[in-house]
Amino acid sequence: MLVVLVVLSFLLMTFDIRASGGGVVGTLREGTQAVFAPVQAFATSLVSPVVDFIDGLANLAGLRDENEALRQRITELEATISEVGTLEAEIETLRNITDLTLPDDSIATRPARVIARGDNFDSSFIIDKGTGDGLVVGNPVVDEHGALVGEIRVVTASSATVLPIIRPTGAVTVESQTGETGVVLGQGGAKMILEVNPAAEPVFADYLLVTAGSSKFPPALPVAEVIRSASPEAAKIRTEAVPLADFNRLKFVVVLQWTFSAGEQDEEQTPQDETPAGRSGTGDL
């Protein structure tokens, strides 16, 4: 039947061409078109969505590949943005270090990068400068804003270990805004304890605590801020303070090439009547 229809179609096309679209063949062609035009339109309306669906399936694999490529590109761009943000933060930190002004501008400074940290039981960290850069044991360390961080306790030719003031054994002699001298004691975390003994004046929240002239650090370095007001009780004050340096985000520090004079006492004593359990004569750091 298929062969017969194909042959018949060729014969009709041949007669149509020879007759130039006229005659009986032309009439048959026109009649056939008139009869089958609605059928053809109906068939087209049914077939077109199917064809489109098949085309969509054919393109589905390509779309998946494109989506995967786009996802990968987005991931790369997000990583680039994060890296740029990190670099911008480091640039800002280095700019602050460059513009750093200390109470004593005669002290030489040495910027350094933090290259290693201790574990949860050790808050010390290592910097990438050492004796080859002029560092010695006892050099104070501050952050980009000049807030006291700690001091160098171990130094090699190319690195040094910094002992932070927030260690549980740390103690720094400080002076409050009222001029009274006290000690801030490290607790190993984000808070420190301020002890003033004897105390004649109250301390208030937001009071700035700076290194005292009698400490083993240069005077007037910012150390901590009082977070809880307190009044003297039996001529003593014990309250809470927070260090000004952000120890969780330290990436760069500044080493002060300064050491306390040999005539000063190496260890600052905590107040005798207020020595916490586990402390015995703890001095600066």
- Averaged pLDDT of the chain: 80
CATH number (domain holding residue 204): 2.40.10.340
- Provide the β-strand partners of residue 210: 175, 222
CB 158 within 8 A of CB 130: yes
- The average pLDDT across 254-272 equals 61
**Do 134 and 69 share a domain, yes or no?**
no
pLDDT in tens, 143-195: 999 999 999 999 999 999 999 999 998 999 999 988 889 999 999 888 999 99
Choose one of 51, 83, 99: the last residue of a domain. Answer: 99
208-229 average pLDDT score: 92
Written as six digits, the tokens of 9 are 């179609």
Q: Is the pLDDT of residue 256 over 90?
A: yes
Using the structure block, give the residue that is written with the tokens 């008139």: 34
| Highest-pLDDT range among 22-26, 117-121, 264-268 | 117-121
Of 82, 99, 116, the one marking the end of a domain is 99
In angstroms, rounded to a whole number, what is the distance separating the alpha carbons of residues 169 and 173? 13
Based on the fold, state whether residues 115 and 245 are members of the same structural domain: yes
Same domain, 155 and 16: no
The structure tokens listed for 98 are: 């460059």
Residue type, 171: A
pLDDT tens, residue by residue, 26-77: 555 566 566 555 656 665 665 566 666 666 656 776 777 778 887 888 887 7
Q: Which amino acid is at 85?
A: G
| pLDDT over 70 percentage in the chain | 71
Two structure tokens written together for 206:
């937001």
Indicate if 140 and 256 belong to the same structural domain: yes
**Whether 56 and 190 share a structural domain:** no
Q: What is the mean pLDDT of residues 234-242?
A: 96
| Per-position DSSP letters for 49-73, written without gaps between them | HHHHHHHHHHHHHHHHHHHHHHHHH
* Residues 161 and 271 occupy one common structural domain: yes
Overall pTM > 0.95: no
Q: How many Cα atoms sit within 13 Å of 149 on the Cβ side?
A: 32
Q: Is the pLDDT of residue 250 over 70?
A: yes
End residue of a domain, out of 83, 99, 115: 99
In terms of domains, do 43 and 77 share one? yes
Reported confidence tier of residue 245, pLDDT bands at 50, 70, 90: very high
| Among 36-50, 107-121, 234-248, the least confident range | 36-50
- Whether 171 and 132 map to the same domain: the answer is yes
Task: Please give the average per-residue pLDDT across 223-230, as a whole number.
Answer: 96
Does residue 118 share a domain with residue 74?
no
Residues 6+ apart with CB under 8 A from 64: none
Q: Are residues 74 and 55 in the same domain?
A: yes
Looking at the structure, do residues 11 and 139 belong to the same domain, yes or no? no
Question: 147 near 192, Cβ under 8 Å?
Answer: no
pLDDT tier for residue 22 given thresholds of 50, 70 and 90 = low
**How many separate domains does the chain show?**
2
Residues 45 and 60 reside in one and the same domain: yes
What range defines the domain where residue 137 resides? 106-285
Quickly tell me which residue has 């760069």 as its tokens: 252
